[in-house]
Chains A and B, each alone.
Chain A
Amino acid sequence: MVWLLLGCLLNVAIALLLSPLYEGLLRKMRAAIHSRVGPPVTQPYWDLLKLLGKEDLRSGGGMAYAALPALTLASVLLLATLTPMGAAAPLAFAGDMIVVLYVAGMSAVLIMLSGMTSGSPYGSVGSSREMMMALSVEPALAVSLAVGALKAGTLALGGMVDFQAQNGPSVSMSIAGLAFFLALQAQSGKLPFDIAEADQELMGGPLVEQSGPRLALFRWALWAKQLVLAFLLVEVFLPWPRLGIPVVDLLASGLKVLGVLLLVALIDVVNPRLRIDQAMGYFMRVGLASVSALAFAVIGR
């Protein structure tokens, strides 16, 4: 029980405390590509701190509206406790791969609801776009995790990680990992897929009316989600080398996550935004292509 609580605490702390640091590193890299100096690595922490103290201007009312930011951050942190990070997920007994997929979708739902509740048409348009992105991206996520389930013969993420760590890379898991990576790009709202936020035309989309501490929580949730999903990618598809020493494994995963996120940011910097129909077509093709991973997995490759 104590270990369970400590494990949960560790995963929550990683998601909560390290996600701004990763965001800071990504900003630094983006600045480097732009030939700028860029903000200090700690800037996202200061952003959050400042937002938490600013006046909270609310355009909507009601209990649900008031609870949405906290629930959004909580759903991402719940996802963190269901995701293996260096070791087995602390709450693995409470949710398997399908639960993880649905919980990952939960934060997006809550953000969309906050966009619709705010009463701003920009919020509704942003929510509608966010939903369309989810419709096109989730199949790719689901297929890539299902390939892991098919290979390991279990829906538990821990079982999939162990199988992949023991048996080494395979064709099917490589294709599935690639599909997951492309989906991660959209899930973390990075270019060329930041269609829902679209700062230049929708002014932040679902978050247009959010300010102060509420905005801080939504921002934090988005950063934490990008970190947790990157951990999920690294653990399920790239678990090597796995030494069995939790601290070392965690550090190795952390470094791999940094590599993955830097790649995400690199794609983000060098691409313009796609139109929504282009993005949907793109992910439909990604989803269909990842079905080939299923075929490979069925024949055991």
Chain B
Amino acid sequence: MRESIIMKIHYGTALGAVALVAVHILMRMTQNFDQSLQYQNVIANYHFLPYALMLEAVLILLSVHGFNGLRVILLELKQGSTYERMVNYGSIAAMAVLIAYGSRTILMAGMGIS
């Protein structure tokens, strides 16, 4: 993939994440912070499909943005074709693992498997 496309994704995920993370934080503010973290309340959040979908979107956006940012830093630190290939594939793998792990939580908590 051309670097310009990757970086456009980087900017796009950043803007998307800003909007959705703001909603995510505001949801904590709808009630007392400690209360909002109570088990029943958090589970209720996951059971509410639009919110669960939003969490999934936040997870994808932040993982892509975060690991691409890390990829950029690592590419600048050291050069060499093997190293760069490792960094590129490594960040995609890390993204995938984090998304899979986070999705598992959203899915299991949302479906009440706990």
Do A and B come together as binding partners? Answer: no
Using a CB–CB distance below 8 Å, which chain B residues touch chain A? none
